[in-house]
A and B are shown apart, each in its own frame.
Chain A
Amino acid sequence: MEGGPPVTEKLDRVVVRFAGDSGDGMQLTGDRFTTASALLGNDLATFPDYPAEIRAPAGTLGGVSAFQVHISDHDISTHGDSPNVLVAMNPAGLKASIDMMEHGTVVIVNIDSFDERSLAKAGYAQSPLTDGSLHDYDVYEVPMTSLTQEVCKEVGVKPRDAERSKNFFALGLVSWLFTRPIEGTLAWIDEKFKKNELVAEANRRAFRAGFDFGETAELFHVRYEVTPAPFKGGEYVNITGNTALAWGLIAAAERSGLSLFLGSYPITPASDILHELSKRKEFGVRTFQAEDEIAGIGSALGAAYGGALGVTTTSGPGLDLKAEMIGLAISLELPLIIVDVQRAGPSTGLPTKTEQSDLLQALYGRHGESPLPVVAASTPAQCFDAAIEAARIAVTYRTPVILLSDAYLANGSEPWLIPDVDDLPSFSPDFADGPNAVDPEGSPTFLPYLRDPITMARPWAPPGAIGLEHRIGGLEKAVDAGSVSYDGANHEAMSMVRKERIAHIATDIPATALDDPSGSAKVCVVGWGSTYGALNAGVERVRAAGGEAAHVHLMHLNPLPADLGEVLSAYDTVLVPELNLGQLVTVLRATYLIDAIPLSKVRGVPFKAAEIEAAILSAIGETR
């Protein structure tokens, strides 16, 4: 490479992956690079990929923590199938990621960490940097650790502490490589580390050193530019699914005039919702870290009985434990939101990895005939809307609602157009305030299970109202009166009411949103939840190549949109990709008697757009 400043090449999109040890600060680095790109106006999608152990043995494959971000100058919906640039802080980070990379892509390694011991820990018999195995990649060897230690010498931090700033060196280098402005990140370092000026200074220096290294080392002959995406006008923040979900719950409480109560037991990957809500007490939010999952939902149900918006948050193992209390909530007909941030199971499974395998449990996982509404979020930002929708259904119809998110949505992020508060849905708890019937003697009386003729919902009558004192419980109740009844005919009548009142909600949700621009596609892809991005991208690829495919993405899993059967029956092939072994497809086949076909993946990672594209093309081929 002969002298001269590097040329700047314009890219329409790029996928960058930071990979290192779980103590290397990869999440922080990726997160900051994301924010800098968001502020620059790029569209983006992120995928934090971290191990279950907080500090797995250093340097091992099991301890690799990675953060992948996809930035672009146009609308994108996934974190990218394959990275264009990998920053590997150690051999394990390289080994864990290299198979995702296509030949010809850029690999930047921290050469200081490629010593014999680290190579051995990662399972390399010889260095991949010298054995020719990276021959087809554009490899840059950068002594990140030693350069960081060098610039931090004068700061007065010990060499071992200075070494910990090396992720800022990497951030600086990548910021240079992608022409990100540095001022915002420097200001962010000041704020983030304001409690420790030494660390702040070390990080600032490391960051600048990384940036300057790109500028002066003449190692890189190209830098890249990704210009802003054409966003709809408005104010944006980059938001993760867990934060969006927490904010949606706060908004739902504000817009319904209810106070928000969260009863929760810490569990990955749902805990951040508890963390976020516990910070927001000025909204009257009460968060209760319960002694176990059962007390989490029990306390939420108690709060709902008292007239609050009761919420519990969990992941699969916790949903198992909450099943009995959900059944009681179904019997009591009280509003309650159960948030299940799904992860790979069964049992502890892969606690930090994503999966969509709790759908059938959400729909059916209780004893007795116990239907309830199920709502699923489709993107990190959409968790906000899904939370409000779950609350609207719960409050309007006096029912527990399961809101499904997953590990991918929970930790992933994307730009969110901040809504106008006045445009958010509002709904009323419409508490009972007086007798609703007359007893045989002609006196006013209160029947706790007398239903609203339109919503089929019973009155919500929290304690405190004079004359409305009543007793409810898990024993079967007499129609209307709500008193204990052991009568078989009454039980059948109540079972039918519980079934019908949930099915009836279909009249109050939008019709199927069908994405079929040509109207002549033969294959319809049906998905739900976090696969939205991959399905959308896969369908777009097919269309870009001249093919035709329709896409339906379901937010309401129970009840399903009233017209869904009719919509799907118009297609020759209904393809149902899911991160499970075929759960929605089972429901669709059973409900509509259509020959829907599954596309399953349970590898702890989302679908790639290419996988969806290939499945659609294959389905199109078979329909010809």
Chain B
Amino acid sequence: MTSVEVPLTTRKDWSSDQEVRWCPGCGDYNILAAIQMMMPDLGVRREKTVFVSGIGCASRFPYYMNTYGVHSIHGRAPSIATGLAATRPDLDVWVICGDGDALSIGGNHFIHALRRNIRLNILVFNNQIYGLTKGQYSPTSETGKVTKSTPFGSIDQPFNPISLAIGAEASFVARTHDMDRAHMQATFTQAHAHDGAAFVEVYQNCNVFNDGAFESITGKANRSSMLIPLVHGEPIRFGEDGERGVIQRTDGHLEIVEVSDVGEDAILRHNAHAEDPGLAFALSRLSRGVHDPTPIGVFRSVDRQEYGAQMTHQVDEATAARGKGDLAQLFRSATSWTVD
């Protein structure tokens, strides 16, 4: 394979000249910075990179990247990105959605993009609220949430985005958060390297309409005791000194324990590459909300045939078997007759 050398770039090369217009203090700034700083290290080219978004605060993202970009319509970014990725395998396509965008109005496109395994990096900035419409509950808001549209509290059961993605046959599922640049970059880098649809949920703070939603787990003081880092092949342990861990009971349920109570050998080792999604699913159910210890990192990363490549393969096979299409022949593929 011949490779054209990728020019060295810096964050500045990846930043557009547009003034960033999120609310001061929004978690989106951290995510944007993490990505702009990460891009030079991915070994990709600006002109081959496309950011596609829907509608919502998160969806302004493409305007701030000095790449190709489409700010489309609410919920539909995965469908537009699918057509693009299916016809342009040479491109790196990133899809930026909010929780309402990806999981409410665009829920159908989200799950189908995942099951098809089309090569997209789908990042969902989950702030558990509708920001751009000024504060209604979202499909990830906790039951009972009081918002402008739920003055008596929300009666909706929220989605667990990780569980949903795994249930939708996703081949790559991860979670990170806006307070940890290094973790975001490591997670996004793995997503980018995945040949297929890669889904990353990013816990993101909306400091105007849902401030501190994740503080109890992502706040600096709480992280070590509340975030459970998932690293493939490593025991699932957390806490200041790794004093807590996860075990799997004989009935399959996962349980958080003191390592000293069960012994190091009893601690579950993470296997993100397991064909069976059972463990990844169980890990996604370990936390019942942002007040429980919550796994972050790559839940699942398995090899599965990529959609666009298969589509191209069928075209290539047909062309090899029948020869390149010829219009004159096509027009005579039904029984023809000649009039003198």
Residues of chain A touching chain B, judged by Cβ–Cβ distance below 8 Å, are 35, 38-39, 41, 228, 231-239, 243, 247, 250-251, 254, 259, 261, 263, 280-286, 288, 290-292, 294-295, 298-308, 310, 324-325, 327-328, 332, 418-419, 421, 424, 462-475, 483-484
Contact = CB atoms under 8 A, between A and B. Distances in A.
B84 A306 contact: yes
B113 to A, nearest CB: 9
20 contacts: A231-B339, A235-B336, A237-B336, A243-B334, A247-B330, A254-B325, A261-B86, A282-B315, A282-B319, A282-B325, A291-B109, A463-B68, A463-B91, A464-B90, A466-B47, A467-B47, A469-B68, A473-B71, A474-B72, A483-B18
B88 interface: yes
Interface string B124-136: 0000000000000
A98 B319 CA distance: 50
A71 to B, nearest CB: 14
Contact of A306 (B47, B65, B88): B88
Interface string B204-217: 00000000000000
B288 interface: no
Contacts of B318: 281-282
A238 B63 CA distance: 52
B8 interface: no
B315 A465 contact: no
Given A324-B76, A325-B73, 5 more contacts: A286-B315, A295-B79, A303-B87, A304-B83, A472-B69
Interface of B: 16, 18, 46-50, 52, 55, 62-63, 65-73, 76, 78-88, 90-91, 108-109, 112, 311, 314-315, 317-319, 321-325, 327-328, 330-332, 334-340
A280 B325 CA distance: 8
Contacts of B63: 471, 473, 484
A305 B67 contact: no
Contacts of A291: 108-109, 112
A203 B208 CA distance: 75
A327 B73 CA distance: 10
Nearest to B328: A421
B84 A302 contact: yes
Most central of B49, B70, B87, B337 by chain A CB within 10 Å:
B87
Nearest to B88: A306
A288 B83 CA distance: 8
Contacts of A306: 83-84, 87-88, 91
B80 A305 contact: yes
A429 to B, nearest CB: 14
Contacts of A471: 16, 18, 62-63, 65, 68-71
Contacts of A467: 47
Contacts of B83: 261, 263, 288, 298-306, 308, 310
B338 A235 contact: yes
A286 B108 contact: no
Contacts of B82: 288, 295, 298-299, 302
Nearest to A298: B79
Contacts of A254: 325, 327
B47 to A, nearest CB: 5
B81 A302 contact: yes
B21 to A, nearest CB: 9
Contacts of B109: 291, 294-295, 298
Most chain A Cβ neighbours within 10 Å, of B48, B67, B79, B323: B79
A284 B91 contact: no
Contacts of A468: 47
Given A288-B82, A295-B108, A306-B84, A418 B331 contact: yes
Nearest to A39: B337
Highest count of chain A CB atoms <10 Å: which of B82, B83, B315, B331: B83
B338 A236 contact: yes
Contacts of A324: 73, 76
Nearest to B81: A302
A468 B331 CA distance: 39
Nearest to A41: B339
Nearest to A281: B318
A280 B72 contact: no
Contacts of B334: 237-239, 243
Contacts of A301: 80, 83
Nearest to B62: A471
B267 to A, nearest CB: 40
Q: Which of B62, B86, B317, B322 has the most CB of A within 10 A?
A: B86
Given A281-B319, A282-B324, A299 B335 contact: no
A479 to B, nearest CB: 18
A579 to B, nearest CB: 28
A280 B67 contact: no
Given A281-B314, A306-B91, A472 B71 contact: yes
Contacts of B315: 281-282, 284-286
A310 B87 CA distance: 10
Contacts of A288: 82-83, 86, 311
A126 to B, nearest CB: 45
Contact of A233 (B87, B330, B340): B340
B325 A250 contact: yes
Given A38-B337, A305-B80, A328 B322 contact: no
Given A298-B76, A300-B83, A418-B336, A250 B327 contact: yes
Contacts of B91: 306, 463-464
B330 A280 contact: yes
B336 to A, nearest CB: 5
A308 B87 contact: yes
B92 to A, nearest CB: 9
A469 B63 CA distance: 11
B327 A299 contact: no
Contacts of B327: 250-251, 254, 421, 424
B64 to A, nearest CB: 9
Nearest to A278: B314
A247 B334 CA distance: 12
